[in-house]
Structure 1
Amino acid sequence: MSLEGQVAVVTGGARGVGELLARKLSARGAKVALLGLEPELLKEVSGRLHTESDWWHVDVTDHEAMARVAAEVKERFGKVDVVVANAGVAAGGPFADSDPVAWRRVIEVNLIGGAVTGRAFLPVLMESRGYFLQIASLAAITPAPMMSAYCASKSGVEAFAHSLRAEVGYKGVRVGVGYLSWTDTDMVRGADEDDVMRELRQRLPWPSNRTYPLGPAVDRIVAGIERRSAHVYAQWWLRGMQSVRGYLPGLIATVGQREMRRFDPRLGNVRKGLVGAGGAADEQVRTGSDHSITR
């Protein structure tokens, strides 16, 4: 399906996957609405797009604010054809020693934020018979030690999207799940700043131990949006993981115990809190301002 003249909403649009996705959608003729927590970056990204665009500073976990944004996007562009629930944060480290506020925030942004985004924009997607893409992760397919909040949130959004697809398909709305492995974003680079997290990831089996370039991953996401795909794989090998996912929890439980024992003396030094520039922006909003919309 051509994206020419379509209206696409991208949450987490200030950086990383969301920023590049907005640029590539715009290059294919889509008008773009950017949502996120970093107004200066959102404005900058919006100003560089090839097509008509606008931006909204909003917390995706705030239901009332997101409902207002959905109404404003519809008023601004006249319709919404595509919504990509991309906003996300991450935290790593042993669950027992984790910061409970940061752990909970990962669930709130990634899972609750995806659901709030869907709830806010479903009415306009039903009008256009549009497409809702929920960005998940390899973490939805396979669990991993030191990533309990992130894995739980991404497994949750995968299940949410599958449930939603069954609910709204007869109304003409298609729903997809996007899967990414480790991709070169601020989030992954932020996680790699911790020596233990970086070394643990490097010890994963190939090809899951690599960091993949952002451009080709986003190209695959754009192609999935054009096809209105039920499943979108940002790296080629992720599709094959679906066929073996039932065996992975037991395998990882065995191997993970060995790795945790190896790193046990250093686990107390793992950084607590959200990782990367996006995590820092989220923490700043929660501690320094309210959830109001700023234009």
Structure 2
Amino acid sequence: MSSIPTPETAAADTAAAATDAAGPVAFVTGASSGIGHATALALSHAGYRVAVGARRVERLGEIEDAAPGVILPIELDVTDAASVVGAVARTLERFGRLDVLVSNAGLMLNGMILGADLAAWERMVQTNLLGSMYAVHAALPALIAARGHVIQVSSTSGRIASLGSGVYSATKFGVSAFTESLRQEVTAQGVRVTVVEPGFVATELTSHLTDPAMRAAAAEIGDSMRTLQADDIAEAVLYALRQPEHVSVNELLIRPTDQVR
């Protein structure tokens, strides 16, 4: 599932670059649905050329069809470091620069700790935490060169752990810790770093749940409030990006008005 370009794709990208050589460049992971999909479209409407990565690459065509600007779909598995490196390389081959990384790919497989499926734990750690780290590591040299911006999509679960969300919360707490360390490392080089922490959002995330009790609980929570929409989070991302260069929005905590915790 590597995204390293072949001679044929590299030649095609070089030819295409001649027609889309203007505007800043963003790379969005987990772009096949939900927050990633909405953010990619919002960035395109804001004038960005956008590379979009996901495992379900067939869904990325929907973004191409709906976006007003240039979209580069890339098959991406964030749990595979080589795939991430290849995706960043494809982006740079096509556009010649990278200004924004939106590290959004995530997985929620909640359940109790006693008797848990350890494979689910590994998948969440690999996707939510290591995947986020891999994306930053691969993109950082280009972002430093551009004095760019890292957007890390975390969760309210990165602030408050709840029953049944122990491992998911651990990954999101980890994202927040990693992001703050990253901010301190690169802020003097002009790179801005923002962690976005959404509350309950109406996306496919809860459909990943395999535990019937957890799935029922998530449905009950969703039915009990006016949930956030993916477009709401995309607007928050744009808010952070639109600040003047001397302003760095480090954290955006966004809950539905009806959400208590």
- Measured in 2, the distance between the counterparts of 1:200 and 1:20 equals 22
Q: Residue in 1 aligned with 2:102?
A: 84
The partner residue of 1:186 within 200, 204, 211 is: 204
| Correspondent of 1:94 among 112, 125, 131 | 112
Deviation sequence 1:106-141 (CA, Å, 0-9, x none)? 011000000000000000001100000111100011
Counterpart contact for 2:29–2:102, Cα < 8 Å: yes
User: 2:234 matched to 1:234?
Assistant: no
* 1:140 maps onto 2:158 in alignment: yes
> What is the identity, as a one-letter code, of the residue corresponding to 1:211?
T
The match for 2:148 is 130
Distance 1:232 1:56 in 2: 28
Q: What is aligned with 2:49?
A: 31
- State the distance in 1 between where 2:159 and 2:137 align: 24
C-alpha separation in 2, matches of 1:200 and 1:48: 30
**Is contact 1:220–1:233 with CA below 8 Å preserved after alignment?**
no
Q: Which string of whole-angstrom CA distances, capped at 9 and with x for unpartnered residues, describes residues 174-201 of structure 1?
A: 1110110010001135549935543377
Give the 5 Å matches for 1:40-79. Answer: 40-79=58-97
For 1:35 and 1:203, how far apart are their aligned partners in 2?
A: 30
Alignment-mate amino acid for residue 72 of structure 1: R
**CA 1:107–1:188 in 2, change beyond 3 Å: closer, same or farther?**
same
Measure the CA separation in 1 of the matches of 2:257 and 2:183.
24
Return the alpha-carbon distance in structure 2 between the equivalents of residues 219 and 191 of structure 1: 27
CA 196–63 in structure 1, closer or farther in 2 if over 3 Å, else same: closer
| Residues 89 and 110, structure 1, Cα contact 8 Å, conserved in 2 | yes
Give the match's secondary structure for 1:96.
Answer: coil
Where does 1:95-114 land on structure 2 (aligned, <5 Å)?
95-114=113-132
Structure 1 residue 67: Cα displacement:
1.4
**TM-score of the two chains, using structure 2 as the length reference:** 0.82
Does the alignment pair 1:217 with 2:237?
no
Deviation at 1:221, TM superposition (A): 2.4
1:84 match: secondary structure: strand
Deviation track 1:150-191 (CA, whole Å, cap 9, x = no partner) reads 100000000000000001111111111011001000113554
Aligned to 1:293: none
How many residues of Structure 1 are paired with residues of Structure 2 in the alignment?
Answer: 234
CA RMSD of aligned residues (A): 2.5
* CA-CA distance at 1:8 after TM superposition: 0.8
Q: Which has the higher helix share?
A: 1
- Relative to structure 1, the CA distance from residue 80 to residue 219 in structure 2 (aligned partners, 3 Å threshold; closer, same or farther) is same
Contact 2:39 2:233 in 1 (8 A): no
Contact 2:164 2:214 in 1 (8 A): no
1:191-225 alpha-carbon deviations (Å, 9 max, x no partner):
49935543377579xxx965323322322222123
Tell me how far apart the structure 2 counterparts of residues 26 and 224 of structure 1 sit (CA, whole Å).
16
SS at match of 2:102: strand
Q: Give 3-state SS (helix, strand or coil) of 2:27's partner.
A: strand
Determine helix, strand or coil for the equivalent of 2:195.
Answer: strand
Unaligned 5+ residue runs, structure 1? Answer: 242-295
Between the two proteins, what is the percent identity of the paired residues? 29
Specify the alignment match of 1:153 in structure 2: 171
Helix, strand or coil at the partner of 2:252? strand
**Contact 1:202–1:210 (CA under 8 A) maintained in structure 2:** no
Distance 2:226 2:125 in 1: 25
Structure 2 contact 51–73 (Cα < 8 Å) conserved: yes
Q: Is the Cα–Cα contact under 8 Å of residues 161 and 177 in structure 1 kept in the other structure? A: yes
Gaps of 5+ in 2: 1-21
The answer to whether the 8 A contact 1:182-1:188 is kept is no
**Closer, same or farther: CA 116–195 of 1 in aligned 2, 3 Å:** same
